[in-house]
Structures are given as structure tokens and as C-alpha cells.
Amino acid sequence: MSPPAAPAAAGDDPLALWWFEVPMPSWRLAADGWQGNRAAQDWLSEQQPPPEAWSQVLARLAEAPTDRPCLLTLAPPGIALQFTPQALGAAQGWWLQRFELGSSGLVSVTELLELLRGHGPVGSLVRDLDTGIGQWDGDVFEMLGVPPAQGTPDFEQALAMVHEADRAAFLERHQVLSAEPGRYSLRFRVRRPDGQTRHLLSLTEVLAARGGHGRRLVSLLFDETDSVVRHQAEREASDDLSSVLAMAGVSVWRVDVATQTVQFNEAGYRMIGLPAREAPMPLAEVRSLIHPDDLARVVNAAAEASHSQSVVDVMARYRDGDSGWRRLLTRRVARRDADGVVRTLLGVSLDLSELSQERDRALALMDRMRLVTDAIGVGFWWRDLDGGLLEWDQQMYRLHHRDPSEGTPSLDEFLERHVHALDRPMLIDRQRRHISEWPATSEITFRILTPEGQTRWIQSWTQRHWREGHRLSFGMHVDVTAQREAQWQAERERERDRFAIEAAGIGVWEVPLDGRQARWSPSMYALFGRPPTESVSPLRVMAEALDRGALADTREALRRCRLHGRDFRVEHAVKWPDGSQRWLLSFGRLQCDSAGQPMAVTGVAIDITGRRRSEELARERDRAEQASLAKSALMARVSHELRTPMNAVLGFAELMALDALSATQQERLRCIRAAGGHLMELIDDLLSLSRADAAGTHLATQPVPVSEVLAEVCQWVDALAQAHGVQIEARQAMNTAAWVQADRRRLGQVLTNLLTNAIKYNRAGGQVWIELSGADLDGTPAWSMAVRDNGRGLSPEQQVHLFEPFNRLGAEREGIPGNGIGLSIVRQLITDMGGRLAVSSQIGQGSVFRVDLAAVVPPEQSTVPASRQGTARSPVPPSAPTQGPIEVLYVEDNAVNELLVSQALSLRPRFHLRTAGDGAEGLALAARHAPRIVLLDMQLPDCHGLELLQRMRQLPALAGSRFMALSANAMPDDMQAALAAGFHDYWTKPLDVQRFLDNMDAQAAQLGR
């Protein structure tokens, strides 16, 4: 059969005229033989198939179906034809559309569109707009679910098939295209008779009336229903890319070499400060916007791109309206026709305009999509499993680090050379199963190994089809290494967070606001004493563990968080299943969705039982400290109030003892002094016990010679021993050079108490021995001081209660004076000094009290500390009377105390006493008379004794004076504060008149030095 002739005159046949205008190569087989349209004639001139090719077409046509494309390979020259035979009617014959696959095996435009856009079947139709006569092909009938036997519906019937939501827009568009020839596109939905809704794309061209024939409408219909679902991910990726480009303000431009014009997108016009326009801009006008210093580089870059296959970049400044210059990085690549002639220069970004008016929209779309895939790094491939063909695009070679000159690898080579060895078995197994089962789609992620030894992750999507007995697969690869590493990093962070939360015992919880059940982490169950595997809802666990008040507080906190966005914070006690109680602190915040609507309250819980216990202990400690301070203040006040009257009682009793009294008077006076002394001992013991109970005794430990302290103590208790007829033997201890680490005054108090008890509870004619020997105190050398008597002794039961305060073990019934708190004080003092107290006793044989204190090396020179001055009789003998009297100032608000000191000093005529009743008067007398010795009470009506001391020390006339504190405050803190403030000594009331006079003599002696 000879090649088809030129088209015959169409006459009045509207279908024949329409066929002649079809833009793709098409033939018409009728009674008068083959006829080809213009596109067919161009194709024949280019391909020049042999005459026998048409015989093969005719033979295939006889057996070809009319509802789907047919594939035919011509030999020679190996040209592949795919055509769709369409019956035009008995009078018109057959119509064949032809698409070239070619001997190279390249995929057709339709197939590439099907891969990239996911379109389904394609149907065609034609309709005369003046007569309403139309013709559908079989694919249109199948798309719309209408039997072909019913014939092509008229427009009104076809309009009724359009989805009611799209019908108005469809009718409006139809009215527009009916009025004006041109090309149109429209997406709409149709509702098939079986109730299915299909998504269709219509590409329509309206041809103007020609040769007496009316206007004709030619359409291609694409069924996009399956692709809408199947390619949702691809469309989203494309939308994301478009959004990114729009947000980034990327300029997309195209230079038409033939017309020397440039077309910009809207962002491009904004970059150069011009309003958007529809018509392209002259290239010369665009270049006039380039900075003169950069123009040559831009022109050279365009020339370089036109003479190579490379992408060429250049940085240049463009005028930005009247606001100055904008520096732009431009990237260009040349596009050539089949003869290699450069037609356009395209920018790196997408060009959404028409790339060429001489190319159809499918080719333009393919080029744009290739630019997109290059930009986002997507590689495409296709494979004819039965034909043995496999093709990669350039991006595939880049993704897999393969030189394009090596060609497309076979499947075996790809698996062996490019796929990571750890993933190779898995891919081989999947390939075998997919070849056997041939699923429509599949997705997989695997690793590849680059020539440099790097591991990259590839995401692969594959679609598979059956075409004319051939198994065809299409796919794309994307490098997702960065995403995988980000996922791993996020997972590692989450794992670290989970580990930290579990290690810290932090529970995580979430309460959805849509009524779903709350969710707890395993640690949260543990905080409620429950195993994580327990199948009990969190709400029930809370109901069993919290009381009603705590549940109400929790609900209220959730309500405030949900309604007002306040942070959730609740502390509550939790009852565990074993009956124990724990305290939990819960923090939470409101979580919202992307629309800002509240979604859930999420938070954490921690166990604060330890903190609560610590806080309670701290509160108890504070209360105890406050109570102790209050008790100390009370005891200090009581001591002061008791010592003030006792000062008068004992002081004047001692003065009376100096007078000539009768025997009866002396006996009465002795009773007064004994009772007063006993009362003072009780006061001192109560103060000592109070200090011990409060926080231990304030001690000033230092090396102390035991023999000196014993000598002082023996002197004090000698009168008591004589009164009871008890002998004291202390020569061995007195002659032993023993030094211990102790508070000298407190050590004397301890020994005095032990000796006093050994005397009082002894028998008439009894003995007390004081012995000193070496000892060991927890591995440290020590001295042991033993007070042993041969008195009545103690029973084991009495020894159990020996150190209880105020427990005299029945001695109170025998008339033996005492208060029962001395030994309690002794034990506390020994403990505070780091020593040890032990007792051993037998009824009728006596008792031994042993005190062990750490031994120390004696210092080079032993001195009595200042704090001891005034507590023992001064060894310094009275000095010779100085010339003239010694001025003494005594500031005291109590007249009785003032009278006692005045009468006591009357026994020392050299002291000239002046008195003042408050601080102001005392300061005035001091400034006027410059006293050499100043006695200050600490609690004056108008000021404190420490304040008055500071004021007096500022008087130049008192620079060499001696200052003594004379107060009823006997607390150690008061004494230390006074000495630290500058007092030379601190004397407590009640006064021992003789000791007071001795101390005054000592101070007078200090004045002479």
C-alpha cells in the first residue's frame, strides 16, 4: 500500500474537517483509501516508513480493539506505532491517531504525563457547536459509565452528568468557549449512573468556522480519579515546592532568543521594582536595568550558556525601582530544538509561562517538571521488564554517583554495585516477589554506598502497569539521608529524654479534652505505687489514691487550664495500695492544635515526699528553735528578776556578818545566807539546764591545768566538807601535771557538782578521794579524773534514773539539800567538751564518778582567761593606797543595788563612789568627773549598757579608765557580748561582797600599771 495521500477536500463533512485540524498525526481509512492530516504528512516526511508498513497497519487494524490503544512495531526501520482505531461511522470509515514510541525506547509524552501527573485513561470527543452534533470515543463512554449503544448524548444530557456542585462553573465555561475560538481547560466532576463520582480534566480547543462549516469543539478528557488518590503525596510535594518558591520570592524567567524578549513571574517583576505585565519585556529593556559594571558579565554568562550544555551562574545588580540596586544571583541554561539551535534561556527557578508557542503543552509541562525534579533532587526511571529496556534520567545518575557514560546498569549490577550489602538481600527478595505478583504500587527505603564509602538513604516509589502484554514499571528515587538522620537524631533525643525522665522518677501524663481516656507513662503508674502493666485506667487509679478534696482540686485546676490557659499545678497526697502515703507535685500546660484550639493538657508529676518531710522537719526545727529562744529569753528574764532581789538578800547578809552580832543574830544570819546560797545554786542550775536543752552549752575550750582547777574547787567546797565531817584527799591529783582540753569554768562546775554530791550523800566521818590517771578516749590520750567516796552508794535501779532532771532518787525525803538537776548538767557539759562520764556504785560501799577528757600538751605559760576574772578571789594582794581617792562611777537604776555597792565600798575608803540612775546622767557625771573605774548595769531605763559603754569610751578623759559590767544577766551570751564590746570584766549579781572588794582592789592595782 502506498503512503497516504494529502487530505481530500472535506466538503460539507464537519467530522472530516475536524479530523483535518487534529494537532497530532492522524489517518483516515475510508473507501477511497488512506488520507492523512497535516501532522501526518510532516511525520511521513521525517520518518519515511516503507510502503509495506501500511499493510501491517491494515492487518493489525482488522483485529484491533476499538476501546484501547494498539501497539505495533514496524520493521524495518523498527518504528513503533501506537494508535487508537476509532470508528467514525459507515460513511467516514476509520480514524487512527498515531503516537511514536520510537526505536530508542523512550517513553511517550502521554506515558510520561501519566507517570508524573498520575492521570488515568484519556478519551476524546468532538462537537459541532452550531448543530450540536457530537461524537465520543469509547474511553469517554467508559469514563462516564454510559453504554456506547445509546449513542453520543446531546449537550443537555451531557450537562446533566456533571456533578451538581460543578455544573454552574461548567456551564459558564462552556458559554465562554462557545463565544470565542481558542484553547481551554477545565477540571470538573461527573456523577455516573452507578453513583460513582469521577474527577475529569478537559483540554478543549474551539475551532472557528471554516469553509461554510460551523464552529467545532475538540476535547481530550482525562480521568484523574485514581491519580487524585494515588498521587496525593506527589501533589503535596509539588504544592510544598511551589509554596517554598513563593515564600522565598524566587524569580522565574525565560528569554526567547528569537524575539529577544524576557518573561518574568510576579516575583521576578517585584525584584526589579516593576509592576507585573502580561506581555514579555524586551531583552534590551531588561539589560538597561543592570548595573553598568555588571552588564558585561551578564552578557557573557548568556553567551556561555548558549554555547554549552552547562548551567551558568552570575551575580549582578539590578535596579530596584527608585530605591537603589538589588543584587541578584541568576542561573541560566540553554534550551535547544531538534537541530541544536538555542531557542530559549531558562532560569534556575520554575518558569510557569509557555516555554514555546511551537511546542504543545505536554512537552512544556514535561520540561517544567524535569526542572522541578532536578531542583528537588528526584530521579526518574522506567523499565520494560519483558522488552528488556531500562532508562534513567540524569538525576538518577547523580543520586547513585554513577557516570552517565557507563550507561544504565542492569538490575543485577545495580544491586551488586550500588546497593548497600546489608540491604541487598532484602531488595533481591522484594524484586522476586514483585516480579511474580506485580503489585500496582510499592514503596521502600534502602541504603546505597557511594564510591567514597559514604552511606546514603534512598526512598523509592514504583508504579507498575500492563501495556500490550508488556510489564512496564515507572519510579522515582529521592535522597532522604538528611531526613533519616534528623529522624534518628530526634529519636535519640526522645530516648535520652525518656531515660532522664525514668531515671529521675518523673511521670508523664496527658488528658485529652475530647473525652478520650487519659494516658500515663510507666513512671506515672510507679508514682502511684502501681505496676506499669496494670490494666486499670488512670482515672480509677486517681479515684482510689486521692481523697475527695484532692480530686476536686485536680478537676478545678484542669478546668482553669482548659478555659483560661493557666498552667496546671497541684500538690496532693497519694495513698498507695500498701497503705503508705506519698506526696506528688504535678505540672501541666494546655496543648493546642495548628488552629489554636485546645487539644489536651499535658504535664509531668514528681515525688516530693522527701521535700515535704524536709519542709516539715524544717518547720518543726524552726518551732523548736523559736521555743528554745523564747525559753532562753524567759530564763534570762527570770534569772535577772531573781538575781536582783537576791543581790540585796545575800549582799546585805554578808555586810551584816561584818558587824558585831549576838550568837542568836549570827545563827539567824547564817540561816539567811544558807537559804540564799541554796536558792542561787538552784537558779544557776536551772539556767545551765536550760542552756543544755536549747542547743548545747557555749564553750571556750583551751588547755586547762587540772591541778589549778582542783585547788579552786577544793577551796570552795572545804566549808561544806567540814560541816558534814567529811575529809577530802586530793594530794595525788594536785601533784600531777595534767592538762586537758576543756572550758575552765565549766570544768570547775563539773568537779564542784561531783564533790558536793560526794560530800552531801556521804556518811558522817566519811572520805572523798580525788584521783587522776591516764586514760584512752576513743583512741586519743586522755586524763581520767575520778571522784570516789565511801558513802551509802547507789542501787542498780537508782543508777538507771541517775541523770534524770529533778529526780533525787528519794533523797528529798531525808532533808538533804539539793534540786536534782546537777548531774544532768554535768553529763551535758562533759559531752559538749568531747569527754566521757562514767559511774560505778554499790550499796553500802560508795560511788565512783569518772570524767575523761582529752589530754593536751601544756602551753609555755599558763594564764587564767579573762572570763575567769571576777569568779574567784583575786590572788593579787591589795596595792598600797594611791595618792588621793579613786573616782568610781556606778550607773544603776535599782536603789537597793546602788545602796549595797555603796555600803560595800564604804569598807574601802580610798574608793570615792558617785552613782547615776540612768545612762544620760551617768554620761554627764563621767564627762564631769572622769572616773577611773566605771560600773555599769546592762539594763538601764534609757539605754543598754553596751551602748553607754561606747559613748563613754569616746570621752578622752576616760581613755585609761576600767569598765566593769555589773548585771543580773548571767547568760553566757550576755557575758561574751560584753567582753567583746570592751568591758574589762563581767560581774554577776548577786554580789559576793568579799569577792567584789577583792576584784575592786585588783582593778585599782591595774590602774597603777
Inter-axis angle of helices 993-1007 and 895-905, nearest 10: 70
Distance CA 844, CA 178 (A): 140
Residue 46 pLDDT > 80: no
Per-residue confidence (pLDDT) for residue 106, from 0 to 100: 35
Query: How does pLDDT run across 357-406, given as a tens digit for each residue?
Result: 343 454 555 566 666 666 667 888 888 888 888 889 888 898 899 999 99
Q: For the chain, give every domain's residue range.
A: 14-230, 250-374, 377-484, 504-607, 696-862, 884-1007
* CATH number for region 504-607: 3.30.450.20
Per-residue confidence (pLDDT) for residue 229, from 0 to 100: 62
Average pLDDT, the chain: 79
44-63 exposure pattern, b = at least 16 Cβ within 10 A, e = fewer: eeeeebeeebbebbeeebee
| Third-level CATH fold of 14-230 | Beta-Lactamase (3.30.450)
The band of 110, judged by pLDDT with boundaries at 50, 70 and 90, is very low
How many helices, marked H, and strands, marked E, lie in the chain?
32, 38
- Residue 883 DSSP symbol: S
Residue 845 pLDDT > 80: yes
Distance CA 344, CA 457 (A): 36
Per-residue confidence (pLDDT) for residue 6, from 0 to 100: 46
SS3 388: coil
| Third-level CATH fold of 377-484 | Beta-Lactamase (3.30.450)
Within this chain, domains 14-230 and 696-862 share the same CATH topology: no
The band of 164, judged by pLDDT with boundaries at 50, 70 and 90, is very high
Distance CA 742, CA 853 (A): 8
Burial of 276 (0-12, 13-18, 19+ CB in 10 A): exposed
Is there a contact between 447 and 455 (Cβ–Cβ < 8 Å)? yes
On whether the 250-374 domain is CATH 3.40.120.10, my answer is: no
CA 449 to each of CA 445, 478, 861: distance values in angstroms, whole numbers, following the listed order: 14, 15, 89
Burial of 304 (0-12, 13-18, 19+ CB in 10 A): middle
Give which of 291, 236, 12, 268 is closest to 118, Cα–Cα: 236
Is there a contact between 639 and 974 (Cβ–Cβ < 8 Å)? no
The band of 96, judged by pLDDT with boundaries at 50, 70 and 90, is low
Distance CA 838, CA 830 (A): 10
Taking the model in full, what pTM does it have? 0.34
Distance CA 556, CA 550 (A): 10
The band of 682, judged by pLDDT with boundaries at 50, 70 and 90, is low
Distance CA 189, CA 209 (A): 30
Distance CA 716, CA 583 (A): 60
**Cα(first)–Cα(last) distance of the chain, in Å?**
153
Query: How does pLDDT run across 512-552, given as a tens digit for each residue?
Result: 988 888 888 888 888 888 887 667 888 888 888 888 888 88
Q: SS3 letters for 118-164?
A: CCCCEEEEEEECCCCCEEECHHHHHHHCCCHHHCCCCHHHHHHHECC
CATH architecture, domain 696-862: 2-Layer Sandwich (3.30)
CA 780 to each of CA 774, 835, 852: distance values in angstroms, whole numbers, following the listed order: 11, 11, 11
Residue 447 pLDDT > 70: yes
Q: Which residue has the higher pLDDT, 280 or 636?
A: 280
Most confident of 396-400, 731-735, 853-857: 853-857
Rounded to the nearest 10 degrees, how much is the dihedral formed by the CA atoms of 592, 593, 597, 602? Answer: -30
872-904 exposure pattern, b = at least 16 Cβ within 10 A, e = fewer: bebeeeeeeeeeeebbbbbbbebeebbebbeeb
CB proximity list for 131: less than 8 A, separation 6 or greater: 14, 214
| Third-level CATH fold of 884-1007 | Rossmann fold (3.40.50)
Burial of 666 (0-12, 13-18, 19+ CB in 10 A): middle
